[in-house]
Amino acid sequence: MKPLLEARALTKHYEQGRISVAAVEGISFSLRPGEVALIIGPSGSGKSTLLSMLGCILRPTSGAILLAGREISALSDRDLPRIRRRCFGFVFQSFHLFPFLTARENVETALRLRKVPAASRRRRSIDLLEDCGLEERMEFYPASLSGGEKQRVAIARALAGDPFILLADEPTASLDSANGELIFKMLRSFAKAKGKAVVMASHDPKARGFADSVYNLVDGRIAALDA
């Protein structure tokens, strides 16, 4: 089966005065449809930088990123945002919900960017929130939602555009154990049921139980790999 996402010798350097500091160095791996990959490692090891490169938020200093066999890391500044919106969904530790919009309206924002008609936006948002178990909470504002509910809204928003790959950076860091486990189940279900893929970075020890592969990042390099 052809990889859905592939990183080849991915490297990111930052300049600090006259010194070049490697945040990520020579990372290579592939991700197949239905796969959940977990990135672990200490703070500052390059996990967030790697996710940002995979999702076309940061450009690598060298190396390549391939999506379904097509190199996307060398696309122009004009084409790259289109690929990012169409192919990737993002979930972060902070929920980044608009406080003045309801849960449903927050999900609709992702569809508005894609110029989806209003009626279709509403229907799609309702369906996603129901899938996330929020059918009774979709007209509530973020201030009235629990942390677990806010993260589920954020996941629904990330899935609104039907991405090929979901990138999650510490998605359970601010949640209790029960809600954290629910989030991991949702992410795994997305990959398995739809043949998509998930890459998540997490310090949560429970995350390993929901991953198909585990990459241990130390000082920007893969130190160990569990298949």
**Consecutive sets of 10 residues in the chain, 227 residues long: mean pLDDT of each?**
92 87 92 96 92 94 94 90 91 91 96 88 94 94 95 94 94 90 93 93 94 93 69
Instruction: Please give the radius of gyration of the chain, using alpha carbons only, rounded to the nearest integer.
Output: 17
For residue 91, give every residue at least 6 positions away whose Cβ sits within 8 Å of its Cβ, in sequence order, or none: 151, 154, 155, 158, 166, 167, 168, 169, 171, 187
Q: Write down the mean pLDDT value for the chain.
A: 92
All domains of the chain in start order, with CATH: 5-226 (3.40.50.300)
What's the order of all strands across the beta sheet hosting 5-16? 19-31, 5-16, 62-67, 70-71
Kindly report the pTM of this predicted structure. 0.90
Q: What is the pLDDT of residue 224?
A: 62
Q: pLDDT tens digits, residue range 211-221? A: 999 999 999 99
pLDDT at 148: 92
